[in-house]
Amino acid sequence: MTSAPEAVFIGGCPRSGTTLLASLLGGFPGCVVTPESQFKHRPLQRLHRQPEIRLSGEGLAREWRSHLRFRHWGVDLLEADLEHTLDPQALRALLLALVGRMAKPEQQSLAAVTWIDHTPQNIELGLALSSLFPTAKLIHLVRDPRAVAASLLPLDWGPHSTAGIASLWSHRLAHGLALEKALPERILRVHYEDLCRHPEDTLKHVAAWLGLTMPTNRALLQPTCDFLPRYTRHQHQRIGERPQVERINAWRGQLEPWQQRELEGRLGELMALMGYPADAEPPRPGDHPPSLWQRRIWPLVRALRGRIRHRRHQRLHAQQLR
């Protein structure tokens, strides 16, 4: 059996099951699930593109401490973290040190832990992540875009139209498929539907591929949810539950027929190639087209509501920094 990697980077389109899979892997010995880590992306990309440069420790500290996602981790940088400039190896060591500080008390005695990072954008940074973390593995999560849309549209962040969701889904899928071609030994594709239909078998397959030790003191499908920050907890209400097969086709009762037709019209060929055949019925005589409110105004209202909530959270965050 291969040894466990230092990190597992899960990525894909938002609402594809990245958090669900992370919550399940969090039950394995030595696995530390953190909140999403978008704060790592800028320095990671800079050092990947220009490995000869060095980052200022103090500058990085200012950048991260002002980043909402770093605050969600609930840890801080130590003076020793900031003494020197950072090259790629130092950035890797710093990130792993922060993960180690988030380990549970029973994990502190372990020689090493495995970082489970479920930031969806990881799929766009696969080359940089695989270079910075030589033993890391990547997981490409794929979900039916109609289910992704049904999950995303009610939220006040992300794309607020089926056209925007279709673009995002195909963009993230393209990154994932390209990584599978470039790094076949280091990336595994997992379909959300397999995780719901055959959760135990799928999880065992993922764990074996990662080289994780099976849990002995808890049920295999007993997910953790203590890593979720309060700010995002409302949008992950099912995290902590076992995967449910009913979630696969729940979108059929959530999407309007015109939304399904629009998604399938934009993604039909790609969906079929990924195992999601289009099956929308054509408009019936007498069906009314979507109104201006449905197609344009309501998405703008949701977007505005999201910006207001985000700015309110930023103001609270700024007050805490003072």
What's the number of domains the chain is made of? 2
Q: What share of the chain is helix, strand, coil (3-state, %, to 5)?
A: 55, 10, 35
Tell whether 315 is covered by a domain. yes
For residue range 94-123, list pLDDT tens digits in order: 999 999 988 877 676 666 789 999 999 999
> Do 165 and 182 belong together in one domain?
yes
- State the pLDDT at residue 25: 93
The CATH number assigned to the domain holding 189 equals 3.40.50.300
* Residues sharing a CB contact under 8 Å with residue 174, sequence separation 6 or more, in sequence order: none
Residue with tokens 């990584």: 179
> Do 186 and 294 belong together in one domain?
no
> Do 229 and 311 belong together in one domain?
no
Q: Which tokens sit at 46?
A: 């800079």
The CA angle 177-183-184, to the nearest 5 degrees, is 80
For residue range 75-86, list pLDDT tens digits in order: 888 888 887 889
Q: Which carries the bigger pLDDT value, residue 322 or residue 210? A: 210
Enclosing domain of residue 163: 7-34+102-280
Beta-bridged to residue 187, according to DSSP, are 138
> Do 216 and 296 belong together in one domain?
no
> Do 14 and 127 belong together in one domain?
yes
Tell whether 213 is covered by a domain. yes
> Do 113 and 190 belong together in one domain?
yes
Tell whether 296 is covered by a domain. yes
> Do 178 and 307 belong together in one domain?
no
What is the number of helices (H) and of strands (E) in the chain? 14, 5
Q: What percent of the chain has pLDDT over 90?
A: 60
Give the predicted TM-score (pTM) of the model.
0.86
> Do 276 and 217 belong together in one domain?
yes
Tell whether 65 is covered by a domain. no
Whole-number Å distance between alpha carbons of 237 and 254: 17
Q: Which tokens sit at 74?
A: 């609930």
> Do 254 and 294 belong together in one domain?
no
- State the pLDDT at residue 310: 60
Tell whether 170 is covered by a domain. yes
Tell whether 90 is covered by a domain. no
> Do 119 and 224 belong together in one domain?
yes
pLDDT-wise least confident of 37-46, 126-135, 304-313:
304-313
State the number of CA atoms in the 13 A half-sphere of 18 facing the CB.
Answer: 26
Tell whether 54 is covered by a domain. no
Distances (CA, A) of 145 to 22, 126, 240, 246, 249: 20, 22, 23, 16, 11
For residue range 3-55, list pLDDT tens digits in order: 788 999 999 999 999 999 999 998 888 899 999 999 999 999 999 999 999 99
Whole-number Å distance between alpha carbons of 196 and 221: 11
* 8 Å CB contact between 310 and 303: no
> Do 199 and 300 belong together in one domain?
no
> Do 180 and 115 belong together in one domain?
yes
**Nearest Cα residue to 218 out of 309, 104, 124:** 104
Examine the pLDDT at 262 and tell me if it is beyond 80.
yes
- State the pLDDT at residue 321: 47
Tell whether 97 is covered by a domain. no
